Amino acid sequence: MDSFAEPRKTLDDSESFSLEDVRAQVSKLEADLRDKNVPLSGRIIHVCHYLPITCAFARRPRPSDIPSPPATPPAKASDIPPSPTAEQSPSPSGEDALHAPRGTVPPPQPSQWQLHVRYGHSAMVSGIDSLAATHEQIFVGWTGDIESGSGSGTQLAGGQDASGSASGSDAAPGKVSSGSLGEEEKKELEGLLAEYHTRDEIKDGKPIHYVPVWLDDKEAHGHYDGYCKQTLWPLFHYLLWQDVATEYASADAHWAPYAAVNAAFARRVAEVYRPGDLIWIHDYHLLLVPSLIRQSLPEAAVGLFVHTPFPSSEVFRCLPRRKEILDGMLGANLVCFQTYSYSRHFTSSCVRVCGYEVTARGGIDVQGHVAAIGYCPVGVDADRVAKDTLRPGIRPKLEALRTLYEGKKIIVGRDKLDVVKGVVQKLRAFEKLLQDYPQWIGNVVLIQVTSPALSDSPKLERQVSEIVAHINGEYGSLDFIPVHHYHQTIKKDEFYALLSVADLGVITPLRDGMNTTSMEFVIAQERTKKSPLILSEFMGISSNMSDALQINPWNLSEVAAAMHRGLTMSDEEKLRRHQQLYKTVTTHTSHTWAAILAKKLLERLGSSNMARQTPFIPKGELERHYIKAKKRLFLFDYDGTLAPIVKVPSAAIPSKDTLKALEILTADPKNVVYIISGRDGAFLEQHLGHIKNLGMSAEHGGFIRAPGETTWRNFTEPLDMSWMQEVLEIFKYYTERTTGSHIEVKKSSITWHYRSADPEWGLFQCHQCQDLLENNLARKRPIEVLVGKKNLEVRPIAVNKGEIVKRILYFNPDAEFVFCAGDDKTDEDMFRALLLFPQGSADQGPKHVTLEPPLSVTLLAGSKEEAEKFEPVELAIERDAIFTTAVGHSSKRTLAVWHVTTPEEVVEHMLHLVRDALEEEKAEVQGDLAPPASNL
Q: What is the structure's pLDDT at 472?
A: 94
Position 17 scores a pLDDT of 66
Quote the CA–CA distance of 532 and 520 in Å, as a whole number. Answer: 13
What pLDDT does residue 14 have? Answer: 40
Q: State residue 157's pLDDT score.
A: 31
CA distance linking residue 899 with residue 895, whole number of Å: 10
Q: Could you give the CA distance from residue 121 to residue 381 in angstroms, rounded to a whole number? A: 11
CATH 3.90.1070.10 is held by the domain 722-796 = yes
Strand 750-753 and strand 694-698: the pairing is unpaired
Helix (H) or strand (E) holding 581: helix 571-587
- Are the beta carbons of 317 and 352 closer than 8 angstroms? yes
- Which of 217, 365, 381, 637 does the annotation list as catalytic? 637
> How far apart, in whole angstroms, are the C-alpha atoms of residue 383 and residue 752?
58
Please, which residues bridge with residue 213 across strands? 142
pTM, full prediction: 0.79
CATH number of 382-588: 3.40.50.300, 3.10.20.310, 3.30.70.120, 3.40.50.2000?
3.40.50.2000
| 592-615 pLDDT, tens digit each | 999 999 999 999 887 755 546 788
Helix (H, G, I), strand (E, B) or coil at 509: coil
| Residue 146: C-alpha distances to residues 40, 53, 178, 209, 647 (Å) | 36, 11, 8, 19, 50
Is there a contact between 81 and 186 (Cβ–Cβ < 8 Å)? no
**Helix axes of 423-436 and 556-567: crossing angle, nearest 10 degrees:** 70
What is the C-alpha radius of gyration for the chain, rounded to an integer number of angstroms?
36
Beta-carbon contacts of residue 85 (< 8 Å; ≥ 6 apart): none
Domain residue spans of the chain: 43-54+112-150+174-375, 382-588, 619-715+800-838+846-920, 722-796
Low-confidence ranges of the chain (pLDDT < 70): 1-17, 60-110, 150-173, 241-249, 454-456, 608-612, 840-845, 862, 916-936
Distance CA 262, CA 329 (A): 12
Decide if 574 contacts 504 (C-beta within 8 A): no
Burial of 23 by CB count in 10 Å (0-12 exposed, 13-18 middle, 19+ buried)? buried
Same fold, 619-715+800-838+846-920 and 722-796: no
Strands ordered across the beta sheet of 533-536: 483-487, 444-451, 409-416, 504-507, 533-536, 549-551
Homologous superfamily of the 619-715+800-838+846-920 domain (CATH): HAD superfamily/HAD-like (3.40.50.1000)
pLDDT at 135: 93
- Mapped onto helix, strand or coil, the DSSP state of residue 211 is strand
Q: Is 912 exposed, middle or buried (0-12, 13-18, 19+ CB in 10 A)?
A: middle
Tens of pLDDT along 332-367?
999 999 999 999 999 999 998 888 888 878 899 887
Q: Is 637 a catalytic residue?
A: yes
- How many residues does the structure list for the chain? 936
Beta strand 549-551 with 533-536 is parallel
Q: From CA 897, how far away is CA 886, in angstroms rounded?
A: 8
Helices (H), 297-339: 313-316, 322-329
Task: Assign domain 43-54+112-150+174-375 to a CATH class.
Answer: alpha beta
120 torsion bin: left (phi>0), alpha (psi -120 to 50), beta (else): left
Which residue type occupies 423?
V
Beta strands in 418-482 (DSSP E): 444-451
